[in-house]
């Protein structure tokens, strides 16, 4: 009896094809559609960096006033403590505001250029298109974070005591826990074409209740509970502890659990709403309109 024929295993190049495809699309979305376009507008680059730098010094001056014993301040502690507080908040808040705006702006840009229909109907799934579209914005915010923290440490006397494991996990979950709401905001621009009240509301909401510029404990008790509905509050709490005090993963476990819950709930909901919106505009024949 003859032995059954043996089939050769797939060549190594075939096994690497999916990885190379992901890297190729990441390069196309990030460098060709992101960095190349962004750097071509020199004035925009200058104004963007200026927008990172000026608020740091503005809040530093404000901190000096608020922590002056003769100013009737509500903030306790030394000027350095509040400076460190707002520097970290300002540095990491950019990830959230960028998420809320980047996807919507990308979709709006594709609408105006007439390429949105081709992009969303391409072999790349809509979810993958959203993921690739966020890479450049996240990279830009890593750069902004470095600039702001650099100013804080180099010029304003902020002292860092970093627990890297806790900081990395906290930073990743800070992004993912807000990702679902960012997808929701992008769905509205796909539907309404112009104006994005969801992104505007979420940005203002997180700035007020997310613990960016002041501790949420300073909010009146009647509204303080709202801060616990904002995942940014938990993210900044974990990031500050791991970045300024060297607290490890165990010390920020509660914040990490809450952000994980937000991630598990909001991302599927955001993707489901995006798919529903995409089907609706396809049926209405308005996908390519703006």
Report whether pLDDT(133) > 80: no
Mean predicted confidence (pLDDT) in 141-146: 89
The answer to whether 136 touches 35, Cβ cutoff 8 Å, is: yes
Q: Sign of torsion, CA 239 243 244 245?
A: positive
pLDDT-based confidence at 79, cuts 50/70/90? Answer: very low
Question: How many CB atoms are closer than 10 A to CB 159?
Answer: 9
Whole-number Å distance between alpha carbons of 145 and 154: 14
pLDDT of residue 168: 95
The residue among 143 and 13 whose pLDDT is bigger is 143
Phi and psi at 74, nearest 5°, equal: -95, -5
Question: How many CB atoms are closer than 10 A to CB 224?
Answer: 13
Please, what's the b/e burial string for 10-25 (b: 16 or more CB within 10 A of its CB; e: otherwise)? Answer: eeeeeeeeeeeeeeeb
pLDDT of residue 267: 93
- The single residue listed with the structure tokens 């376009």 is 37
Which phi-psi region, left, alpha or beta, contains residue 102 (left: φ > 0; alpha: ψ -120 to 50)? alpha
The Cα-based distances of 79 to 53, 71, 82, 103, 216 in angstroms read: 19, 13, 6, 37, 18
Phi and psi at 162, nearest 5°, equal: -90, 130
- Report domain extents, the chain: 18-284
pTM confidence score:
0.74
Model pLDDT for residues 257-277, shown as the tens digit of each residue:
999 999 999 999 998 998 898
Report whether pLDDT(73) > 50: no
Tokens of 88: 């970290």
Which phi-psi region, left, alpha or beta, contains residue 72 (left: φ > 0; alpha: ψ -120 to 50)? left
Model pLDDT for residues 192-242, shown as the tens digit of each residue:
766 566 777 787 788 788 888 888 887 888 888 888 888 999 999 999 999
Report whether pLDDT(116) > 90: no
């Amino acid at each position: 009896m003859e032995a059954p024929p043996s089939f050769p295993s797939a060549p190594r190049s075939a096994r690497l094809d999916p990885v190379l495809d992901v890297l190729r699309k990441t390069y196309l979305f990030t460098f060709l559609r992101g960095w190349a376009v962004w750097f071509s507008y020199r004035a925009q680059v200058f104004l963007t960096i200026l927008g990172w730098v000026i608020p740091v010094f503005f809040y530093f001056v404000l901190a000096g006033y608020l922590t002056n014993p003769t100013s009737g301040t509500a903030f306790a502690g030394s000027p350095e403590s509040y400076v460190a507080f707002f520097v970290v908040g300002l540095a990491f808040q950019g990830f959230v505001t960028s998420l809320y705006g980047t996807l919507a702006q990308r979709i709006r840009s594709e609408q105006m250029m007439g390429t949105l229909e081709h992009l969303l109907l391409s072999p790349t799934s809509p979810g993958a298109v959203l993921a690739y579209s966020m890479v450049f914005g996240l990279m830009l915010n890593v750069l902004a974070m470095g600039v702001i923290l650099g100013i804080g440490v180099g010029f304003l006397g902020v002292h860092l005591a970093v627990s890297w494991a806790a900081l990395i996990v906290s930073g990743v979950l800070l992004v993912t826990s807000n990702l679902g709401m960012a997808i929701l905001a992008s769905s509205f621009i796909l539907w309404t074409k112009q104006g994005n009240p969801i992104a505007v509301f979420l940005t203002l909401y997180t700035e007020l209740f997310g613990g960016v510029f002041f501790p949420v404990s300073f909010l009146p008790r009647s509204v303080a509970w709202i801060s616990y509905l904002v995942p940014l509050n938990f993210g900044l709490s974990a990031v500050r502890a791991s970045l300024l005090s060297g607290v490890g993963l165990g010390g920020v476990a509660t914040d990490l659990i809450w952000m994980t819950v937000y991630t598990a709930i909001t991302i599927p909901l955001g993707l489901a709403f995006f798919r529903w919106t995409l089907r609706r505009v396809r049926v209405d024949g308005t996908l390519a309109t703006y």
